[in-house]
Chain A
């Protein structure tokens, strides 16, 4: 199956690129060319071509098993693509991984944190890993702990944190070096409404200052509220991409009031089937 067959009319056109180089267009925050990942017989991500501009808030949507996390793992250097290239901040993730990692902050789906460090120790450790000066690390760590309401629990071991607190400390570690590109995989899962609002404001603030946020979420309301552009992936293929307005026009036709949920269900081909559980009535 050729890439052209897999990309929907809504998706970005394929740009053939025969030889991957270590660097590419630096005005783009994220760029992928024919990114492919095959597990056994199944292509989890199927010739994905993606471009995200600097300062964009890019919402990456898809049903369970669509390939969202696999894409993020390949973009962050945690999973080797079967084929294709990925650039972050103009740097080829697989040819200059250290440079690429320095540009990005990552909140992965599974938070594999250093659980036997306290929240504060983990932030200090992360700051050192990013090569920040000691004074900056300490100041930023305290700022982040304060903003994410973790100051009181900063000296507790992460193993004793709740799910939401783990997510917040992981986010703080991803932010401490002020990344150019921020990858967030389901950032709002398990987060209380107060913290969720704080995080949304932080992320919005970041994009205002030129940081690109690439995030996947199942919470369509959040994606709808925050994203400047949305990509919808289904069965490893980018089936739709554009601003909410563009998607609305393309996917929902005449329905100008369509919500992102309507668009999403329409694009992935989900049909509303009436259940036949008469015995429930």
Chain B
């Protein structure tokens, strides 16, 4: 277990360099880091302050129960989040360091020290500092609490790294990565629902009574977090022998975890990389040949009819491809699921809780349905070329007329929007028993889709944006600040513009209803549909040629090659 101080110093220098170099090479990432820092400070600080007062002011055994729960929560968070690559501790990339003749002790020590430079560690330190401050009833207890938290910190980092190493092959599988992207995206958007669930669960489990009765510690005391808590609590009771014994147990467990982590990591790194099952393919015996056909590539056939162009094989192929992508690409799938959650929050929630809804029993729910769908459509169509990400290069290599690219993409989004609109209208009409409004709302929704897709085509061509390939972890799940502000401002601006352009459509539905002259719908509703179609066609025809003219510039923005 030799540790050369010089090597350790150089390893820490490496960690510092990679951190600062990241900011100097991409200054924009500094903004993201500052935001993350503020969030971590806020969360860690809030928990720290709240738990400090809980340790001090709650009557025993509730305060010690809080200690058990907090330490166990910290341990669980540090185990679970790295699995989603919400990297609790980035530290050093040990897989690269194994090339050098470093001892296990040096690797462990460098990992532990380098984690102090990770932003999430700050939150952890605040929570652990609150434990020390909250239980420092005397100097000896404060010193013991300090060392207990130090060892617990080592254990927490070690356990999270051990779990990562154990599940390394699973974590690297594409299916798991896809799933974690969706889970993370949904976690953010379903906060309201989770909140309701947690509060409901808290009431159900009689949380406060359990705290006062000390119901948690009998179970949690056997976990490493419980051992740490028990060591502090025994010292406060004056049972120093038992306290130090449990501290020793914690230290042994911590060292064991670090050792196991190192062993598992070494094995996983030395395991040969295998992709798929081994398969020996028979060598090709047939002479090579080029698939022969009289048919070659055909650029646009301008003699086709309008409908022929709109529903040409190229358009339907692009639409089919996009629909497959909506389902198979975790980033796009997450966007779709998020829209379902928004629907649940804005529509289904009020419908199922009539007492809390001012919309209950009225037809407003039906009127809101197209707005929810159009909002969803806008997120998918505002930057339709950017959503292709790197593959846009491939699309631009094909001899496809630009109108067809837009039509194909619009067709896919329209299909999704139509399904969502039909479902929402059916649900709304069912709950409010306003089936007479279903058809007008549907037609107005279609008209709105025309306007929304038209606006999306305009922004996609003139203001394409880079969409970062979403990966697991906080480093790429929206906390990146690359074009973040511009994107937010532009999205807001486009939302306003689209809303203004949708006013005629909304008025066509709303005014006759408000003045109770619904017979006018027979004129206004078809007119709104005509307006939506005409707007979409006009805008698409005007902006599509610019795709060809601006292809390299669009690629430069959206692909960052």
Contacts and interface: CB of A to CB of B under 8 A. Distances in A.
Contacts of B391: 112-115
Nearest to B402: A98
A130 B279 contact: no
Contacts of B286: 146-147
Interface stretch (B213-221, B293-301, B365-373): B293-301
A114 B399 contact: no
A131 B284 contact: no
B293 A78 contact: no
Contacts of B101: none
A76 interface: yes
Interface residues of A, number: 57
B468 to A, nearest CB: 15
A83 interface: no
Nearest to B316: A128
A198 B284 contact: yes
A225 B259 CA distance: 55
B555 A152 contact: no
Interface in B386-428: 390-401
A140 B295 CA distance: 11
A116 B174 CA distance: 11
Given A131-B297, A147-B289, A152-B281, A80 B553 contact: yes
Interface string A218-233: 0000000000000000
Interface residues of B, number: 51
B288 A128 contact: no
Interface in B309-335: 313-314, 316-318, 320-321, 324-325, 328-329
Contacts of B324: 116-117, 121
B314 A98 contact: no
A116 B324 CA distance: 8
Contacts, number: 146
Nearest to A101: B399
Nearest to A113: B394
A133 interface: yes
Nearest to A153: B276
A160 B176 CA distance: 13
B276 A160 contact: yes
A116 B325 contact: yes
Interface string A152-169: 100001011010000000
A11 interface: no
A99 B279 contact: no
Interface stretch (A47-55, A57-65, A201-209, A236-244): A201-209
A136 B174 contact: no
B394 A147 contact: no
Nearest to A199: B288
A162 B401 CA distance: 32
Given A152-B281, A198-B284, A129 B398 contact: yes
Contacts of B288: 147, 198, 201-202, 205
Contacts of A157: 174, 328
B296 A112 contact: no
B321 A134 contact: no
A155 to B, nearest CB: 13
A101 B281 contact: no
B317 A129 contact: yes
Contact of B399 (A99, A115, A125, A178): A99
B394 A78 contact: no
Contact of B296 (A125, A129, A177, A209): A177
Given A102-B399, A198-B288, A162 B275 contact: yes
A97 B397 contact: no
A247 interface: no
B278 interface: no
* Most chain B C-beta atoms within 10 Å of own C-beta, residue among A113, A131, A175: A131
Interface in B414-447: none
B284 A130 contact: no
Nearest to A160: B174
A128 B397 CA distance: 13
Interface stretch (A23-31, A103-111, A261-269, A271-279): A103-111
B270 interface: no
Contact of A140 (B174, B293, B314, B393): B293
Contacts of B281: 149, 152
A160 B391 CA distance: 16
B165 to A, nearest CB: 24
Contacts of B295: 132-133, 136
Interface string B496-536: 00000000000000000000000000000000000000000
A78 B548 CA distance: 11
Given A98-B401, A147-B288, 15 more contacts: A77-B397, A99-B399, A117-B324, A121-B321, A125-B320, A129-B317, A129-B318, A131-B298, A131-B299, A139-B293, A144-B291, A149-B281, A178-B291, A194-B283, A194-B284
26 contacts: A78-B393, A78-B552, A80-B552, A97-B551, A98-B299, A98-B300, A99-B299, A112-B559, A113-B391, A115-B391, A125-B317, A128-B316, A129-B317, A129-B318, A129-B395, A131-B298, A132-B296, A147-B286, A157-B328, A160-B276, A162-B275, A175-B291, A177-B297, A178-B296, A198-B288, A201-B288
Interface of A: 76-80, 97-99, 101-103, 106, 108, 110, 112-117, 121, 124-126, 128-134, 136, 139-140, 143-144, 146-147, 149, 152, 157, 159-160, 162, 173, 175-179, 194, 198, 201-202, 205-206, 209
8 nearest CB pairs, A to B:
A131-B298, A129-B398, A128-B317, A177-B297, A102-B399, A112-B390, A130-B297, A140-B291
